[in-house]
Amino acid sequence: MPCNQRTTAAVLAAALFFLPEGHTAPPAPRDGDWPMATLDYANTRYSPLTQVDARNVSSLKVEFTFSTGVARGQEAAPIIVGDTMYIVTPFPNVVYALDLSRPGAPTKWKYESRPRPPAQGVACCDVVNRGVVFWEGRIIFNTLDGRTIALDANDGKRLWETQLADINIGETITMAPMVVKGKVLVGNSGGEFGVRGWLVALDAKTGKTAWKAWSTGPDSDVLIGPAFKPYYASERGKDLGKTTWPPDAWKIGGGTVWGWISYDPKLDLIYYGTGNAGPWNAEQRPGDNKWTAGMFARDPDDGQARWFYQFSPHDLFDYDAINESVLVDLNINGQLRPVIVRPERNGYLYVMDRATGQLLSADAFVPVNAIDRVDLKTGRPHWNTEKQPSSGKVTRQICPAAPGAKDWNPSAWSPQTGLLYVPHNNLCMDWQPNEVNYIAGTPYVGADAVYYAGPGGNRGLFTAWDPVARKAAWQIREDLPVWSGTLTTAGGLVFYGTMDGWFKAVDARSGKLLWQFKTDSGIIGQPVSYRGPDGRQYIAVLSGIGGWPGAVVVNNLDTRDATAAAGWGSALPDLKDRTTAGGTLYVFSLPR
C-alpha cells in the first residue's frame, strides 16, 4: 500500500504560510529557488518541481560545469535565488555568484574571504564548508577561521563581518548558517580540540550578537530558565551542565554545534543538535555530560531553552548529535502529531513530538550493538555492557563506528511517499581508550579507532525509511560509505552521490536506479534542484572528495596505517584507487 495513503504527513514548509502576525517573513524567493542549504525551515530538501521525472530522467545531460579551483571536500549546497547561483568553496572560502541567465553561467562576482591559514591546522575533518544562506538581499556565510560575513547579493560587497570563533583554542566554523526572524544562527566546530560548544544569534542586518547559548556549564550560560520544561526527568535539575561532569571538565567538554538547524514557525522554536562529549575517552568524564550529544529546542528571540533530549548520555563512541531534524506532521496511532524525524549517529531513527520532546519511537536503522535499545518511558538508551570500553583494552566489533550510522550528510523527506531518504554508513570498529591531557589548540581525543565494513561487507547504504511503519521501505547497498546529501523531488525521484563519483537518480517508491553520471571526483556535497530563468528544471551538485573519510585522498594518507584519518585507513584502503581530488560544480537538465 503506498505510504501516502496511510500517512497524512505534511511538510512544515506549508506552515510557512501561517506565520504568526508580526513575525519576520522567512527568505521567500521565487517558487523553484533554493535559498538555503536545507531548502526550507523543515529541512525537507523536497523540491516541488516536476519537469524531471521517472520517465525522462534517463535523458539528463550536463548543462554546464564550474571549477571551484579548490581540490578539497566540497560539502556545500549550491544556493539559487532568481537568476543567480551562489556557491562557497572549502578553505579559502571563496564565494562565487554565477549568472544563470547567460549561457554557461559566467561569474557575476566573487568574494575572497581570506581566512587565516592556521585555521587549517585545527580543522578536525578537512577544511569543508556546508553552504551560504540568502536572506533579504544578503548572502551570509561562515569562514573556517571563525567569522560570519554578510555580502550584498547583487554585487558581493561586504556589508558586515563578525569574528566568533577562536582558532587558538581549536575552534573553527564549518556549518551552513540559517536565518530565523532576522537572526543569523551560527555554531562552532572543534569537539576534538577540547572546545566548549555554543550557538550564537547575530542580528542579520548588523552582525551584532543578540544572544549566545553554551552547550555546557551553569544554567545561566546555557540559557536555561523558567521556560525550560524537558519531557524526561533525567534532563531536569539545576546546573546539570556542570554537575554531570567532573569539576571544570565541562569547560573543555565539547558539545559543539556544527550541524543543522530547523525552525517551526507555529511553535516558534528552533531545533539543533550538540556534538560529542570530549574527550572521546569517556573514563575521563564520568556522568551524563549534559548537554552534549543531544538536541535543544529554543526560543529564537532570546535563545531560552524550552526542552532538551540527550540521544547518547555519557557518550562512549563520538556519537555527535548534530544530524538534521526533519519537521513533519505524522499520523501516529490515529492522531496527527507535529514530530521530528531524525536519523541519529548512534544508529537509531527517532520520532519525537517537537512541542514537548517526548520520544514516540526509536528504531535501529542499521546493525547496532553499542546500544541494546532505547527506553521510551525514560528516554534513555541502554548501553551494551559487553561493548563498554576501558583503558588499555581493545573492544572489538562495536557497531556503529565513530562516524556513526550516519554523519552530517542530510537526508530528505518526500510528502508524496511519506518516506525519509537516508544516506549512511554500514561500519563497525575496534576501539581503545587512552588517557589524554588537555593543551589548548591541540587534539584532545584519547582513543584509537579502526573502522571496517559492517554486516554484509558493504560499507554504505541508502535507505528509504517509513517512520510510521518504523521500518525500511527499501534499501540500496553501496560498497563505499554514502557521504553525500540527498535530494527528493515531486517528480518521484531521489538523488544522491557516491564517494567514487557517481551521481544517481532512483525511483522514490522502489529505489530502482533510473540514471547515473560519473563525475570527476567523489561526491560528498548536497544536491539541489531549481527552476532556471528560462523556466526549466535543473539539478546541481558539487563534486570533490574530502571531508572526514575523504582525508585519505586529499591528504594522501598511507592506509597501511589502519588508524589513518582517525580510523578510516582500514575502512578505505581502496579509495585513492577509485577517485582523485577535485572541485567541480555539475548542473544537469533535460535536452532542450
3-state secondary structure of 158: strand
Taking CA atoms, 313 is separated from 10, 348, 427, in Å, by 32, 14, 22
* 518 close to 480: Cβ distance less than 8 angstroms: no
Q: What's the rounded Cα separation, in Å, for the pair 127 and 73? A: 7
Q: Residues with Cβ < 8 Å from 510, sequence gap 6 or more?
A: 474
Q: What's the rounded Cα separation, in Å, for the pair 400 and 384? A: 12
Q: What's the rounded Cα separation, in Å, for the pair 253 and 244? A: 11
* 215 close to 197: Cβ distance less than 8 angstroms: yes
Per-residue DSSP letter, 521: S
Residue 47: beta bridge partners? 489
Q: What's the rounded Cα separation, in Å, for the pair 391 and 529? A: 48
pTM for the predicted model, two decimal places: 0.95
Q: What is the pLDDT along the chain (592 residues), one digit of tens a residue?
A: 333 333 333 444 433 333 333 344 444 457 899 999 999 999 999 999 999 999 999 999 999 999 999 999 999 999 999 999 999 999 999 999 999 999 999 999 999 999 999 999 999 889 999 999 999 999 999 999 999 999 999 999 999 999 999 999 999 999 999 999 999 999 999 999 999 999 999 999 999 999 999 999 999 999 999 999 999 999 999 999 999 999 999 999 999 999 999 999 999 999 999 999 999 999 999 999 999 999 999 999 999 999 999 999 999 999 999 999 999 999 999 999 999 999 999 999 999 999 999 999 999 999 999 999 999 999 999 999 999 999 989 999 999 999 999 999 999 999 999 999 999 999 999 999 999 999 999 999 999 999 999 999 999 999 999 999 999 999 999 999 999 999 999 999 999 999 999 999 999 999 999 999 999 999 999 999 999 999 999 999 999 999 999 999 999 999 999 999 999 999 999 999 999 999 999 999 999 9
Catalytic residues: 192, 276, 318
Residue labelled with grid coordinates 581540490 = 71
3-state secondary structure of 541: strand
Q: Residues with Cβ < 8 Å from 271, sequence gap 6 or more?
A: 261, 262, 263, 264, 295, 296, 297, 325, 327, 340, 354
Q: What is the CA radius of gyration of the chain?
A: 22
